[in-house]
């Protein structure tokens, strides 16, 4: 009698490991002079919980986050989410539009936030979630004669509409229903339930769109007077979307 063949069985742990291996690895780099490593490491842990528990089940986009301190080198193969003081420092250190290997790169300007009275952790969360939803900054949703930028935190980005994970405040974000083409589309339209209709804003929020058939470029609509956060900074997602990838610069950061 021939030897019996046994079908191999994958344990739940091995399945989770295989799934995790397919997720992008994002290095959260602290390059700011106003944020201590311990603070950014704590924020990174909260953001991993936000992605796993809240964002990925809705958007189908997860990630493995890795904290990288000031004196540590940036992993070359990873995406980078870089915490910097401001856009001037980003340029001086060589953090431009994509990583040295052409991978997605996000930036949060901690000193600019603190100077304006904002929570840096909300901005870091904002940049991470938008990087996951549209890593190449080239996705849009067409509704009628308008094409809306796939920016999932802009409409509800204000600090008061965020929420706590432990002691870390993170950003609210819209759901796919926010981009629905009909006004009666079923919600919720954002994770926290603040927005009542698709393609609408709450205080402090904004959106970008292109009008088809017009050569007016990207237009921005704000719920109220534009805030410092709503102004496109050099190297920000909004600025990169407007100039196009043909104008992006590869980062030359040394570490």
Please name which of 229, 250, 233, 231 lies closest in space to residue 89, comparing C-alpha atoms: 233
Q: What is the 3-state secondary structure (H, E, C) of 61-115?
A: CCCEEEEECCCCCCCCCCEEEEEECCHHHHHHHCCCCECCCCCEEEEEEHHHHHH
Provide the residue ranges of all domains of the chain, joining segments of one domain with +: 18-247
pLDDT of residue 97: 83
pLDDT of residue 21: 59
- Tell me the two tokens of residue 212: 């088809």
- 10-residue stretch averages of pLDDT, the chain, 255 residues long: 44 48 92 97 98 98 97 93 89 80 92 94 96 93 93 95 98 96 86 95 93 85 67 70 78 71
pLDDT of residue 168: 98
pLDDT of residue 240: 77
Eight-class DSSP state of 190: B
pLDDT of residue 96: 74
């Amino acid at each position: 009698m021939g030897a019996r063949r046994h079908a191999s069985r994958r344990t739940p742990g091995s399945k989770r490991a295989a799934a995790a291996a397919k997720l992008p690895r994002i290095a959260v780099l602290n390059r700011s002079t106003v944020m201590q490593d311990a603070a950014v490491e704590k924020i990174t842990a909260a953001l991993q919980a936000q992605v796993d528990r809240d964002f990925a089940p809705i958007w189908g986009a997860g990630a493995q986050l890795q904290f990288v301190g000031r004196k540590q080198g940036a992993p070359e193969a990873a995406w980078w989410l870089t915490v910097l003081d401001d856009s001037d420092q980003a340029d001086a250190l060589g953090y431009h539009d994509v990583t040295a290997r052409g991978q997605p790169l996000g930036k949060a300007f901690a000193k600019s936030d603190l100077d304006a009275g904002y929570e840096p952790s909300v901005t870091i969360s904002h940049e991470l979630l938008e990087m996951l939803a549209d890593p190449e900054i080239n996705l849009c949703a067409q509704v009628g004669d308008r094409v809306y930028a796939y920016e999932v935190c802009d409409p509800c980005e204000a600090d008061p509409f965020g929420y706590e994970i432990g002691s870390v405040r993170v950003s609210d974000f819209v759901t796919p229903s926010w981009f629905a083409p009909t006004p009666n589309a079923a919600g919720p339209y954002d994770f926290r339930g603040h927005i009542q209709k698709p393609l609408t804003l709450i205080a402090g929020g904004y959106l970008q769109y292109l009008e088809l058939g017009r050569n007016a470029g990207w237009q921005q609509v704000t719920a109220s007077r534009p805030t410092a956060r709503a102004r496109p900074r050099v190297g920000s997602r909004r600025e990169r979307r407007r100039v196009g990838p043909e104008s992006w610069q590869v980062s030359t950061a040394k570490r």
